[in-house]
Structure 1
Amino acid sequence: MIEHKKAIKHGAKWTFVGYIAQKTVVFAVGIVLARILDPMDFGLLGMIMVFVNLFDIIVDSGFGYVVVRYRNIDRKILDSILTLNVLLGIICFILLNITSDYIAIFFREPKLQSLILPISFLLLINAFKIVPFNLNVRNLLFKERSKIDVVSAIASGILGITLAYNDFGVMSLIYQILFANLLSTSLHNFISDHKINFFMDRTSVNMIWKRSHKIFSESITSTIFNNLNKIIIGRYFSAQLLGFYTRGHSFPSFTQKAIVQVVQKSIFPVYAKIEDGNEVNFIARKTIRTLCIIYMPIILVLAAISKNLILLLLTVKWEESIFFAQILAIASSLFAPQMVLRNVLKSRNDKSFLISENTSKVTRLILLIGLIPFGIKWVIIGQVINGVITLLVSGYFTKKEIGYTLTEQFADYGSLFFMAILLALPSFLLDYLLDFSYVIELAIQLITFSVLYLLYLKFKRFNIIKIFT
């Protein structure tokens, strides 16, 4: 048991380090590519990937979950899953290409027709990755997986930048994605103890589907809702505007996903093991306060420095993405308490969690569609409104489960949100008061925030290092 716990702890550290390293490489490569390519190129890719991601979920069909979770996995089951994945990959490859005309018509973008064929090969590549990747996860090969992620990101990044410099346009992004997944698939197959073999066992197939269909349906729903913004912007506005949105979203998204990795690997597994509601209440409140102290000031200062940061890193051609970065960062500021409350619900009561999640999805859909006539800015501002609604709904059901009242919740994160605004406010004001180069203004903003933030942490006697060790 002790050895198993050590392996999990070691794996969690490697997963976090690998994730941060890979995402940092991807983010840096994205910055370089954004300086070379046009917003339209990223918008076109964003449109295509909506459907590619959807078909990719169908190729997986929740079978990867079975590989990781099913206790009595054997060669027969693994071969059956691989065979099913490849068959589904071929079917989805054909369907995606057959529907390419309709996808182009839906987005009113004829250029998509010629781009769908090359990117659809991603479905065939990933079909061969599902079994070895999840088997390596099952076997706790976290270190190897992290190395593969980083190597694939670096190698594909070099290829993408080289092609972009040689005027390949949007195709440089497509080839980058294909090469990253091809390299990752090859390396996972190389280190896996399962070798490719096509075989179909009817009994195994029935067992697989029984255990995977719920995961599959949840994944399909999540993928559709996660891509709603891209669908709405691409359909009702333009590919160029979608490019600005995608790049603006990447800044708060990078920060948000990093904090998710830290928390999910260290804190949330605890909730499922605790029966006493009072103890969960105590841990949840402590987690919210801790995360808000770390996350809220950082994400709000990101909104404050977005203008100088984007103009410095991406150049003036990406100026329209500043608004997206700022509003999405503000919307993300409520993510920390949202994440804690949702995970408490998930660990305590699936029904309450599902009601909360579905309510959030419905309100998001209503806001997105309802705000289209008012323009793209209101569509994005709607995310802030939905964030508040999601927080209140999650808070209501959390109160019912563990007695953590809405008043207590607001007392925990409300005061810290107000303090985060005060810490980020000078950087906002400096953006309007200063008239220097982007580099100097950004440096002054960051130094000002850092001094204020460190003084605040010292006043609170809060040790960030202890949180991550």
Structure 2
Amino acid sequence: MSPGLKNSILGGIFWTTIQLVVNRSFAFVIKLVLARILFPEEFGLIGMAVVFTSFIEVFNDLGFGAAIVQKKENSIDEKHYHTAFWTGIIWSIFLYICIITLVAPLAGNFYREPILEEIIPVLSLGILINPVNLVHKAQLTRDLNFRKLTYINNSSSIFAGCISLVLAFLNFGVWSLVFNSVATYAAALPMFFLATGWKPKLIWDNGAFKDIFGFGINTMGTQVFNNLINKFDYLVIGKLLSVSSLGVYTLAFTLTDTFRGQLMSVMNSVMYPIYGKKQDDKISLTKYYLKVVKYNSIVVDGIMMLLILFAEPIVLAFFGDKWIDTIIPLQILSLSVIFHMMVSSNTSLIRGMGKPGLEFRLQLFKSLVLYIPLIFFGTMYYGTTGAAMAILVNKIFSVIIAQYYLKKLLGISIGALFHATKPALLSLVIASCGGFISFNVLGIYWMVSAFVSILLYLISLYFMVGNDIKTELTGMDKLKTVLK
């Protein structure tokens, strides 16, 4: 690995980690306060609205952002940027009209919640704003300028979180959650323009459109089915159960799979352009990917362990009795995340290798054959617990499918994946046993037992990968040149 590329990766990981820590910590505090002020029904209404708006949002950038990032240096110029910008603007206006005239009334009738016809048009204002940021965001990602991306994302999230808290304390109820999303997009808009200095010109090139659309359409197709996977449970729970059930499930999902997704977005945003640059070097791709799996697992598995062992006291202490039905789905979803981490970021790797068509076909298969039937029947017969179990089963099958293609594309064996995740999994077993005995057998206070679990997890990791982590940290000295 060249020193420049290694510094870029280290810099990217550093700044996106800062983004994750600030964003997730602040978002958790916001969720904590809002959950105490608001009720599951209000969170459920947002869950219902997001089911419909997210399907439209997937189509928003036509995959142009990913296409710009993936393209090699000698195959992209200014006309690609301007074409992507104006196409996105026109397309987003069309989509927003569809939301007002079709999607909002459909959602209100589907769930028999008339207020959704008011919520969805406001919640969807980001669809109009997001394409304006599309090129700027792609340019910063291509340049591996994660420092500016971190500043923009954190600043806009903090601003939006403060807005939502003020509205919640002023008794705006569900609207405090609605404006949280809109304010995030609005605050980021001027910052992206200042960060890149790029300004759109009245240029639209048919050749450039075909070039980026050909890649982007496959990426967009993948995102459609990713969204189907991520939101179909919300759709079914909201329809078959109740708005309150969807609210408690939303909180469980936010604390588990959403956290996992945020961490993976850190590594994906750093590694996706790297995968694109090294797409012809299979040896390097394999090394990079296994390191991503290894360290993602180390970070996430320990947190999921705490949610499995101490779900009840955590929910009751932080969110109150009204969220008690969240406990069992929270534990099951935490276990599903642990399985997911065994092949984390595999779709980003496949797309970075220039194979968005394969990524799309995989998501299509998993959505239609596995996910949809499992969620529907699980929810119908066992409620939110059944939906969480369906997620778990789907993640297990996803590991098997992903492993098959990793072996086919890069020769990554199941043994190599196990070796990468072994430190996290073995530490998880040791720490879980200690935490369970401390809390359930000895009856020690849950916060003390949680501390014991984390301590055992860290000690176990130190003995297994302590030297590896020290080696990685020695490279942080070179980070100074990146941060200047």
Which TM class, normalised by the smaller chain length?
0.7 to 0.9
1:368 aligns with 2:375: yes
Task: Look up the SS of the partner of 2:172 in the other structure.
Answer: coil
1:218 aligns with 2:197: no
1:79 aligns with 2:82: yes
| Cα-Cα RMSD | 3.5
TM-score, normalised by the number of residues in structure 2: 0.83
Q: 1:320 to 1:195 in 2, by over 3 A?
A: same
Tell me the distance in 2 between the aligned counterparts of 1:260 and 1:380: 20
Task: Look up the SS of the partner of 1:59 in the other structure.
Answer: coil
Q: 1:259 to 1:95 in 2, by over 3 A?
A: closer
Q: 1:192 to 1:259 in 2, by over 3 A?
A: closer
Identity of aligned residues (%): 21
Tell me the distance in 1 between the aligned counterparts of 2:106 and 2:340: 36
Once the two structures are superposed, residues 219-245 of structure 1 have per-residue CA deviations (whole angstroms, 9 ceiling, x without a partner) of: 222222221221121222222211111
Once the two structures are superposed, residues 184-203 of structure 1 have per-residue CA deviations (whole angstroms, 9 ceiling, x without a partner) of: 01211233322245554445
CA contact (8 A) 2:427 2:456 kept: no
After TM superposition, the structure 1 = structure 2 runs for residues 170-189 of structure 1, keeping only pairs within 5 Å, are 170-189=174-193
Quote how far apart the aligned CAs of 1:82 are: 2.3
Higher mean alpha-carbon deviation, 317-326 vs 332-341, is at 332-341
Higher mean alpha-carbon deviation, 389-398 vs 364-373, is at 389-398
Q: 1:394 to 1:105 in 2, by over 3 A?
A: same
Q: AA paired with 1:332?
A: V
Give 5+ residue unaligned stretches, structure 1: none
Q: 1:168 to 1:103 in 2, by over 3 A?
A: same
Q: 1:195 to 1:225 in 2, by over 3 A?
A: same
Tell me the distance in 2 between the aligned counterparts of 1:134 and 1:284: 22
Q: Find the counterpart in structure 2 of residue 391 from structure 1.
A: 399
Tell me the distance in 2 between the aligned counterparts of 1:434 and 1:159: 44
Tell me the distance in 2 between the aligned counterparts of 1:346 and 1:149: 24
Give 5+ residue unaligned stretches, structure 2: 477-484
Q: AA paired with 1:27?
A: F
Q: 1:451 to 1:283 in 2, by over 3 A?
A: same
TM-score, normalised by the number of residues in structure 1: 0.85
Task: Look up the SS of the partner of 1:243 in the other structure.
Answer: helix
Q: AA paired with 2:371?
A: R
Tell me the distance in 2 between the aligned counterparts of 1:140 and 1:122: 25
Tell me the distance in 2 between the aligned counterparts of 1:211 and 1:284: 22
Once the two structures are superposed, residues 430-460 of structure 1 have per-residue CA deviations (whole angstroms, 9 ceiling, x without a partner) of: 554577xxxx833212222133224423543
Tell me the distance in 1 between the aligned counterparts of 2:55 and 2:326: 26
Q: 1:61 to 1:400 in 2, by over 3 A?
A: closer
Quote how far apart the aligned CAs of 1:27 are: 2.2
Higher mean alpha-carbon deviation, 254-263 vs 204-213, is at 254-263
1:88 aligns with 2:91: yes
Q: 1:445 to 1:84 in 2, by over 3 A?
A: same
Q: Find the counterpart in structure 2 of residue 43 from structure 1.
A: 44
Task: Look up the SS of the partner of 1:367 in the other structure.
Answer: helix
Q: AA paired with 1:360?
A: K
CA contact (8 A) 2:430 2:456 kept: no
1:301 aligns with 2:306: yes
Q: AA paired with 1:326?
A: Q
Q: Find the counterpart in structure 1 of residue 113 from structure 2.
A: 109
Q: Find 2:129's aligned residue among 125, 128, 133.
A: 125
Task: Look up the SS of the partner of 2:60 in the other structure.
Answer: helix
Q: Find the counterpart in structure 2 of residue 57 from structure 1.
A: 58
Tell me the distance in 2 between the aligned counterparts of 1:204 and 1:398: 32
CA contact (8 A) 1:52 1:123 kept: no
Tell me the distance in 1 between the aligned counterparts of 2:285 and 2:148: 35
Q: Find the counterpart in structure 2 of residue 232 from structure 1.
A: 236
Quote how far apart the aligned CAs of 1:282 are: 8.2
Quote how far apart the aligned CAs of 1:406 are: 5.0
Q: AA paired with 1:327?
A: I
Task: Look up the SS of the partner of 1:60 in the other structure.
Answer: coil
In the alignment of these two chains, the number of paired residues is 463
Once the two structures are superposed, residues 353-401 of structure 1 have per-residue CA deviations (whole angstroms, 9 ceiling, x without a partner) of: 6665444332122211232331221221122222222222333444555
